[in-house]
Amino acid sequence: MSRTTITLRAAACAALLAAAALPASAQFGGLLRNLPVPIPGVSAPAAAPAGGGDLIQMLQQSLESIDEPKEIEIGRQLAAVLLGSKPLHADMGLQRYVNELGRWISLHSTRPTLPWSFAVIDDPGFNAFAAPGGYIFVTKGLVDRVDEAELAGILAHEITHVVDKHHLQALKSKAAAGFGATLVGSQLRGDARGLVQSQVLSLIRNIYTSGLDKGDEFDADRHGVALAARAGFDPYGLPGVLQQLRTVPQDNPLFTLTLATHPPADQRLDNLEQAMGKRLDAFAGKPSVSIMQRVQAR
């Protein structure tokens, strides 16, 4: 991606937030206040974490020594990278609805006090991303293809990744394998700093293009279904999404990343069936509500 594209996209995010005379926090009702929106004019790569060396240093610590503020800071840097490559969608009503839906579900998780932020990225693909500390993004292409219970299931799956620190663990093990002890951020200056930034970016890209551990994905499905049910949604939302993924042509470019970063939908459904049995059937059968119905009713 060119420097111009990055700057333009970053500017689009900022323009979105600056669109009204109200301060951004008031405009979004304070809902998206935790998002690390890229700042236009920052030299390229605008999306690179400012303190790449610091991030590596944090990831080189043991998991126990990464306390919650550090975890949130790591996630904030990752979220800035994700947001630097794609703009937020301009529909404020949709952003507010998805953020409220996600926060409601996260309140039923075991980590309700994280600074949870949910947002819709303006991208036609079908995808969802999470970063440590509670940053969760879904694409507009995904939102257009699911109903409310299905979106709740997807958000609950992503919330589980955050609650159980799946990305943090993956980042740590990949950082340990790829960086070694020679890259100590505090000793880096000039060109070396640029090298660290580019390696941090490639580490982050690696996590989001190669996916997490298969077992973590199955866990996120199982716990996500239970979490969505606890928050009052039909537990069959996530299985509904998996049915959709099962039938989508493997070469549909809008689904490539999701299919490449997750175990096959058939396996995920089998796994869920074993875990759920009929235990959650009492919570099922709620009428389907579309996302646009919800947004327009507000």
Contacts to Zn ion by CB under 5 A: 217, 220
Min separation Cβ 252 and Zn ion, Å: 19
CA neighbor of 248 nearest in space, from 234, 236, 262 = 262
- What is the rounded CA–CA span in Å between residue 130 and residue 85? 15
Nearer to Zn ion, 150 or 217 (CB): 217
CA atoms lying within 13 Å on the CB side of residue 157: 27
Nearer to Zn ion, 136 or 220 (CB): 220
Nearer to Zn ion, 140 or 223 (CB): 223
CA neighbor of 214 nearest in space, from 277, 255, 270 = 270
CA neighbor of 19 nearest in space, from 119, 96, 90, 88 = 90
Min separation Cβ 40 and Zn ion, Å: 32
Contact 11, 87 (CB under 8 A): no
Nearer to Zn ion, 101 or 242 (CB): 242
Min separation Cβ 34 and Zn ion, Å: 21
Min separation Cβ 241 and Zn ion, Å: 11
- What is the rounded CA–CA span in Å between residue 298 and residue 294? 7
Nearer to Zn ion, 37 or 204 (CB): 204
Please give the sequence-ordered ranges of beta strands (E in DSSP) within the chain, or none if there are none: 117-121, 128-131, 135-139
Nearer to Zn ion, 10 or 170 (CB): 170
- H helices present in 108-263, as ranges: 140-143, 148-163, 166-179, 191-210, 214-230, 237-247, 256-261
As a whole number of Å, the CA-based R_g of the chain is 19
Min separation Cβ 221 and Zn ion, Å: 8
Min separation Cβ 281 and Zn ion, Å: 24
